[in-house]
A = this chain, B = another copy of it.
């Protein structure tokens, strides 16, 4: 529906071309040979696919890239011109909207956050429209068009249909967000679950590049998990997967809002940690920052709470690793601010609970700037644009 002018047209009409573009996008500058090898195609196919992409400006020859054994004709690497296109990404929480403008390589160019006046779709959508308009204005400064918008929402989201089926924080049910936002902004819109969006960003632009099986675990207000199996993000048969928050991890642990006891989320979420620190130390901390500060001051009780949380996270990750055998688990989330307080426990608990080969799984952490969720949304928009 939005104007598909020559500028917005992506000249990769065959699956192979799409695949080659994705390979170059995710694996940095690549010679045509190397790209062919990685994509499992012939060099000839790469030459043919690459030409229109260069002509359209999405790829550029990159003479300055790595030089290798200098014998024979020098290679002529190709890379994606990130500046060729921009994408907008939005993350909606219950009370604010975070928006970023990224380039085609998903590097953040602009970031914004605005409060939400309310939670109903009719209150949120105007803010979305305003924020996107603002981002589009910024984009003019770069002289490049914005080719897509991604929106990340916590909860049960059907990306294909573009609808938010259920969002606890926004209290939405069956909102056709993609359609509404497309109408309000004039951009092609991709809507996805927030953790999945973050996982997509890792898969294409982060620590998941090149891996067919990995997991992303987010620690913060809740504990989330995004899974990639067979090279594809898992959505489950009913559109929901990665519910790691209610894996039982602590024998006879604290009661969880789900009705069970000792769930990961009842031990390691921000709220759980804060409450527990209050209970153990008697200090009336009110949020995660308070609790963290107290622990950093050396308060033994608070530190023990973090240690227990770390152990729980480690066991939760071990459960994922035992079931799926991923090559790597990436830990991220706002809760990572406390990483130094539970890193050891995570690793120890993981090692103790990972069975056999699952222990070969690498654990990696990745800081999470506040715009990262919105960047994930932009990554889904890029993915849609490239046609994967």
Contact = CB atoms under 8 A, between A and B. Distances in A.
B356 A243 contact: yes
B319 A247 contact: yes
In the complex, which of the residues A166, A246, A248 has the most CB atoms of chain B within 10 Å of its own CB atom?
Answer: A248
Given A225-B323, A234-B325, A324-B227, A353 B260 contact: yes
Interface in A189-243: 211-214, 225, 227, 229-230, 232, 234-243
B261 A251 contact: yes
Given A352-B259, A352-B260, A325 B251 contact: no
A251 B249 contact: no
A242 B323 contact: yes
Nearest to A327: B237
Contacts of A320: 323
A29 interface: no
Given A227-B324, A355-B258, A213 B236 contact: yes
A353 B251 contact: no
Contacts of A248: 248-249, 251, 315, 319, 353
Interface string A260-291: 11100000000000000000000000000000
Highest count of chain B CB atoms <10 Å: which of A225, A230, A355:
A355
A9 B246 CA distance: 51
A56 to B, nearest CB: 30
A18 interface: no
Contacts of A156: 356-357
A326 to B, nearest CB: 6
Contacts of A357: 156, 236, 238-240
- Looking at chain A's contact residues, the main secondary structure is loop
A93 interface: no
Interface in A314-335: 315, 319-320, 322-327
A100 interface: no
A154 interface: no
A355 B166 CA distance: 13
A360 interface: yes
The winner among A211, A251, A258, A327 for most chain B CB atoms within 10 A is A251
Interface string A124-155: 00000000000000000000000000000000
A358 interface: yes
A258 B155 CA distance: 35
A247 B246 CA distance: 12
Given A156-B356, A357-B236, A244 B323 contact: yes
A127 to B, nearest CB: 27
Interface of A: 156, 166, 211-214, 225, 227, 229-230, 232, 234-253, 258-262, 315, 319-320, 322-327, 352-353, 355-358, 360-361
Q: Which 4 A-B pairs have the closest CB atoms?
A: A236-B325, A237-B327, A251-B251, A243-B322
Given A213-B236, A240-B356, 15 more contacts: A227-B324, A229-B229, A234-B324, A236-B326, A236-B357, A237-B327, A239-B357, A240-B357, A241-B323, A241-B324, A243-B325, A247-B247, A251-B262, A252-B252, A258-B353
23 contacts: A211-B237, A227-B324, A229-B234, A234-B324, A234-B325, A237-B325, A239-B357, A241-B323, A241-B325, A242-B323, A243-B325, A243-B356, A246-B353, A247-B322, A247-B323, A248-B251, A248-B315, A248-B319, A251-B252, A258-B353, A319-B319, A319-B323, A323-B323
